[in-house]
């Protein structure tokens, strides 16, 4: 036997041993996971075939049906060889949310890495802690006031867009999900980068369509195990198109960062004073200021990751929240009447745009927003990886398990929300909220990895909703039992949010 044969034999033996070790480890892992109830799964492919037969827009309905089917608010699912354990009660997530160790996002977030890199959403460990510390000051209340100027401006443009739609189609309902999404994208781009992309007035804005295509394709890939492998995926036409969209989005952000840094350098070289700074600073400006005090410089790619993350997390989520709020208000005339009564107390007969001080006085509208996010959480689920063995609901959850926390189910648990399908903003009165389980309401997640931009989102929701509701009375063209949702990281309506408008 020559040397080459010996080497090949040894290499094959090592490969077979490694494969055997993997199967042995996986067998014991699967044996533990399969003690948790769940839909039928087959070796290697799991439930992929069953999921492939379901239309993309029906996936979310299928997942919610599974959540109701199994007791104790827990069930397991296999996507290929990836185990997912879904948790749908406040009690079950109590071991996850407050933990400072369980902060690693689940494997589905890996599909966001090509776009968001290692930004705040996708990072973990020491890097995440550093990012969180660096970014927290950029959402300080005083800085939110700067962002609010943009929100007021874009909300006025939204009103003009609604008026234009009403003029063109006076007796037809308007799909507000589309208009609100463009408004939110306008807000986030100017707030994040100081760039006006005119998303509301330019239907063909390249960046707008690019972001939507990236999001849709990312979700498609999550539930298609046969295109998980990067080498295979990027050889396919859809993979090449996805890469092209990524390049477009990244080039846009990189150009803005380069311009901001050159402007900043020019100011420094010319000894610019505090009074020469722009009156309106974007998230990127504040981030660059924070980075200037860091011992370890932040790279341009890291800056891009954070800005892209802010764009991704900050426009679709808030747009969904505002759109579903219009849907809920448009289905509850009594709620709308109370909003208008509050408007009369705060604004009187003035038709002028609201001020930030007035916005902060709208307590009933805030409860309406919270109740909307209970029934229609903008981010309906979040995922983590278990990094230490633990027990949940009497089941052992081994290290390496992907956990999906289902806010939609948690927010409808009758144990904490009597008559959970009813829309009732008074659930959030102080006296009604006292003693409620701390994880019964988690639209912005909870614990160390809660949403850093939740105050930004709440402020934007209030400003945009007020701009619309001060001028019109609304009625939803779609009733509660007709509303169909689907999950693309964001809870989206299948058939839009169609609203009838009547001038006040």
Alpha helices in 230-362 (DSSP H): 230-233, 237-269, 283-291, 300-330, 333-347, 356-359
pLDDT higher at 326 or 256: 326
- Tell me what pLDDT residue 204 has: 66
DSSP 202: -
- Structure confidence at residue 269 as a pLDDT band (50, 70, 90): low
Handedness of CA 353, 356, 361, 366 (dihedral sign): positive
Whether the predicted pLDDT of 183 surpasses 90 = yes
Classified by CATH at the fold level, domain 134-221+238-372+438-503 comes out as Cytochrome p450 (1.10.630)
DSSP 110: G
Q: How is the chain split among helix, strand and coil, in percent rounded to 5?
A: 60, 10, 30
> Which class for 107: exposed (0-12), middle (13-18), buried (19 or more C-beta within 10 A)?
middle
Question: Measuring CA to CA, which residue among 304, 322, 291, 40 is closest to residue 192?
Answer: 304
Helix (H, G, I), strand (E, B) or coil at 328: helix
> For 358, phi and psi rounded to 5 degrees?
-65, -40
- Tell me what pLDDT residue 274 has: 46
Distance CA 242, CA 500 (A): 37
What is the chain's mean pLDDT, rounded?
88
First vs last C-alpha separation in the chain: 93
Whether the predicted pLDDT of 35 surpasses 90 = yes
Mean pLDDT calculated for residue range 401-418:
95
Whether the predicted pLDDT of 272 surpasses 60 = no
Tell me the per-residue pLDDT of 452-500, one tens digit each, with 9 for 90 and over.
999 999 999 999 999 999 999 999 999 988 888 888 789 999 889 999 9
Contacts of 491 (CB under 8 A, 6+ apart): 60, 320, 324, 376, 377, 378, 379, 380, 408, 485
Question: Measuring CA to CA, which residue among 168, 149, 159, 398 is closest to residue 281?
Answer: 149
- Structure confidence at residue 279 as a pLDDT band (50, 70, 90): low
Mean pLDDT calculated for residue range 122-137:
89
Mean pLDDT calculated for residue range 189-214:
83
> For 225, phi and psi rounded to 5 degrees?
-55, -30
Mean pLDDT calculated for residue range 392-408:
94
Contacts of 392 (CB under 8 A, 6+ apart): 74, 85, 87, 92, 95
Contacts of 497 (CB under 8 A, 6+ apart): 175, 176, 177, 180, 323, 324, 326, 327, 476, 478
- Tell me what pLDDT residue 271 has: 62
Question: Measuring CA to CA, which residue among 388, 431, 368, 379 is closest to residue 408?
Answer: 379
Range with the lowest mean pLDDT among 2-16, 103-117, 307-321, 417-431? 2-16
Tell me the per-residue pLDDT of 286-295, one tens digit each, with 9 for 90 and over.
888 888 777 7
The Cα-based distances of 67 to 89, 121, 410, 412 in angstroms read: 10, 25, 10, 11
Whether the predicted pLDDT of 145 surpasses 90 = no
- Tell me what pLDDT residue 362 has: 98
């Amino acid at each position: 036997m020559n040397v080459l044969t010996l080497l090949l034999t040894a290499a094959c033996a090592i490969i077979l041993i490694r494969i055997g070790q993997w199967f042995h480890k996986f067998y014991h892992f699967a044996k533990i996971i399969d003690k948790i109830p769940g839909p039928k799964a087959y070796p290697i492919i799991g439930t992929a075939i069953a999921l492939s037969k379901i239309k993309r827009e029906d996936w979310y309905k299928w997942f919610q049906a599974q959540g109701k089917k199994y007791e104790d608010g827990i069930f397991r699912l296999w996507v290929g060889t990836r185990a997912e354990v879904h948790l749908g009660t406040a009690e079950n997530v109590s071991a996850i949310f407050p933990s400072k160790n369980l902060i690693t996002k689940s494997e589905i977030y890996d599909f966001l890495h090509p776009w968001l890199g290692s930004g705040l959403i996708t990072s973990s460990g020491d890097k995440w802690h550093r990012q969180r510390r660096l970014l927290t000051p950029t959402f300080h209340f005083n800085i939110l006031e700067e962002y609010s100027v943009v929100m007021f401006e874009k909300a006025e443009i939204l009103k003009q867009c609604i008026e234009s739609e009403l003029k063109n189609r006076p007796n037809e309902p308007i799909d507000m999900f589309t208009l609100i999404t463009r408004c939110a994208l306008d807000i986030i781009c100017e707030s994040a980068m100081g760039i006006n992309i005119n998303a509301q007035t330019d239907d063909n804005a390249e960046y707008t369509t690019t972001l939507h295509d990236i999001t849709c394709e990312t979700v498609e890939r999550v539930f298609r195990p046969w295109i998980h492998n990067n080498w295979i995926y990027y050889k396919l036409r859809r993979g090449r198109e996805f890469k092209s969209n990524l390049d477009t989005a990244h080039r846009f952000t990189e150009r803005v960062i380069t311009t901001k840094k050159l402007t900043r350098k020019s100011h420094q070289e010319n000894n610019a004073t505090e009074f020469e700074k722009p009156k309106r600073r974007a998230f990127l400006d504040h981030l660059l200021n924070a980075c200037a005090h860091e011992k370890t410089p932040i790279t341009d790619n890291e800056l891009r990751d954070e800005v892209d993350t802010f764009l991704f997390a900050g426009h679709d989520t808030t747009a969904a929240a505002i759109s579903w709020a219009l849907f809920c208000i448009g289905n509850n005339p009594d709620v709308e009447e109370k909003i208008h009564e509050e408007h009369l107390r705060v604004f009187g007969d003035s038709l002028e745009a609201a001020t930030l001080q007035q916005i902060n006085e709208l307590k009933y509208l805030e409860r309406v927003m919270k109740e909307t996010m209970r029934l229609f959480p903008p981010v309906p689920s979040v995922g983590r990886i278990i990094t230490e063995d633990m027990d949940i609901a009497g089941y052992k959850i081994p290290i390496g398990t992907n956990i999906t926390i289902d806010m939609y189910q948690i927010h409808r648990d009758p144990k904490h929300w009597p008559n959970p399908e009813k829309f009732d903003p008074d659930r959030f009165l102080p006296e009604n909220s006292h003693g409620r389980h701390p994880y019964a309401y988690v639209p912005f997640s909870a614990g160390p990895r809660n949403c850093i931009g939740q105050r930004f989102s709440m402020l934007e929701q209030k400003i945009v909703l007020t701009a619309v509701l001060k001028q019109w009375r609304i009625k939803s063209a779609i009733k509660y039992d007709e509303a169909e949702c689907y999950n693309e990281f964001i809870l989206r309506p299948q058939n839009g949010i169609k609203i009838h408008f009547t001038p006040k």
